[in-house]
Amino acid sequence: MSWFAQAPSNIALIKYMGKKDTEQNIPINPSLSYTLSNLLSSVNIEEHPGKKDFWEPLDIPGALPFSLSKEGQERYLNHLTRIKAIFNHQGAMMVRSTNNFPQGAGLASSASSFAALTKCAVKALSDLTHKEIFSTEAMAKLSRLGSGSSCRSFFTPWALWDETTVTVPDIPYTELLHQVIIVNHEEKKVSSREAHRRITTSPNYPTRSARAIQNLKALRHAFQDKDWKSAYHVCWQEFQDIHALFSTCKEPFSYITSETKNLLTRLQDLWQTENDGPLITMDAGPNIHVLYRPDQASMAKQFKQKHLIGNHDVF
Ligand code: PMV
């Protein structure tokens, strides 16, 4: 038998950075993300002889090549072991996975890949053990143990994650145009897991949760009032806040390069001249995510043609 599942990535506007519980991945503050339904991870699972689980890239005709480091494979298969233990199943499995977005593009793939693995493994194991399939909420909780941000990938178009619960908030912008501007293709030097650990030594850390909660409140109000410009300001302040945690901790690090700064300035100029523009955010990486409203499609196209084509990849 063979099982297949897919899950989307997501981009947080209010970020998950810092954990109350590192085993259970309980965040120090609520986070809010937009689901990126075009950026998908796919997983296929088959039963496998023997006792050991294996991972290999999933070969989809026409798809881009995909690989996982030894540590990446281990972390992925450990999550499968966790799910197998819940179902009390010992049989070995072959896991194949891939993403429909280029690897090394600096796009967070752990959210979509852990969500897709959780979905696929739950399907396979409930079939094999004749147990009832989990609810979406239960799958999100389980996925969170593998990768925190993956629990938001089970909900769309928006996901609000607080402690152990994810809900779909009512936000009047249900369809946005997402672009990620690639500043650096290289594998990040500090993983998000390491970032969660290092930031706890920043003098800004004890007050981080209060600022995130305040930003969340302000962003939800701005969305409710259809005040796009205020939403942009809150998103800006929010990503600057987590990047300041990175640069002020005991082992400081930064993802912001001179090219990132340059592009951010061009985006600010766009806002300045048009009194309008996209929401801008950055995760634990050098690349810039922008979200436009559907009525800004031609603005998005123009900005891309003028500033990005020939200089940066955009997905
Ligand atoms: O899920 P993790 O442990 O990879 O953490 C993700 C952290 C950020 O991407 C920087 C922010 C977020 O909320 O997605």
157-198 pLDDT, tens digit each: 999 999 999 999 999 999 999 999 988 766 667 888 899 999
136, two tokens: 């979406």
Q: Evaluate: CB of 219 within 6 angstroms of ligand 1.
A: no
**Percentage of the chain exceeding pLDDT 70:** 97
- Could you identify the atom of ligand 1 that is nearest to the CA of residue 283? 10
The pLDDT, as a whole number, for residue 313 is 81
Q: Evaluate: CB of 118 within 6 angstroms of ligand 1.
A: no
**Percentage of the chain exceeding pLDDT 90:** 81
* Spacing, Cα 259 to ligand 1 middle (Å): 23
The pLDDT, as a whole number, for residue 121 is 98
Contact residues for 28 (Cβ-Cβ < 8 A; gap 6+): 18, 19, 20, 208, 209, 212
State how far the Cα of 146 lies from the Cα of 126, in Å rounded to an integer. 19
Contact residues for 32 (Cβ-Cβ < 8 A; gap 6+): 12, 13, 14, 158, 159, 160, 161, 169, 216, 219, 220
198-245 pLDDT, tens digit each: 999 999 999 999 999 999 999 999 999 999 999 999 999 999 999 999
Residue the block writes with tokens 């030594």 = 201
Q: Evaluate: CB of 12 within 6 angstroms of ligand 1.
A: yes
- Could you identify the atom of ligand 1 that is nearest to the CA of residue 191? 4
Please, what is the angle between helix 70-86 and helix 136-146, to 10°? 140
| Ligand 1 atom 4, closest CA | 192
The pLDDT, as a whole number, for residue 175 is 97
Q: Evaluate: CB of 149 within 6 angstroms of ligand 1.
A: yes
Q: Is the pLDDT of residue 290 over 90?
A: yes
Global confidence as pTM: 0.96
- Could you identify the atom of ligand 1 that is nearest to the CA of residue 15? 13
The pLDDT, as a whole number, for residue 190 is 87
Helices then strands, counting H and E runs in the chain, come out as 8, 11
* Spacing, Cα 53 to ligand 1 middle (Å): 27
* Spacing, Cα 227 to ligand 1 middle (Å): 26
- Could you identify the atom of ligand 1 that is nearest to the CA of residue 110? 4
Q: Evaluate: CB of 16 within 6 angstroms of ligand 1.
A: yes
The pLDDT, as a whole number, for residue 189 is 78
Q: Is the pLDDT of residue 105 over 80?
A: no
- The answer to whether the CB of 239 falls within 8 A of the CB of 15 is yes
Q: Evaluate: CB of 216 within 6 angstroms of ligand 1.
A: no
- Could you identify the atom of ligand 1 that is nearest to the CA of residue 285? 10
State how far the Cα of 54 lies from the Cα of 93, in Å rounded to an integer. 6
* Spacing, Cα 50 to ligand 1 middle (Å): 35
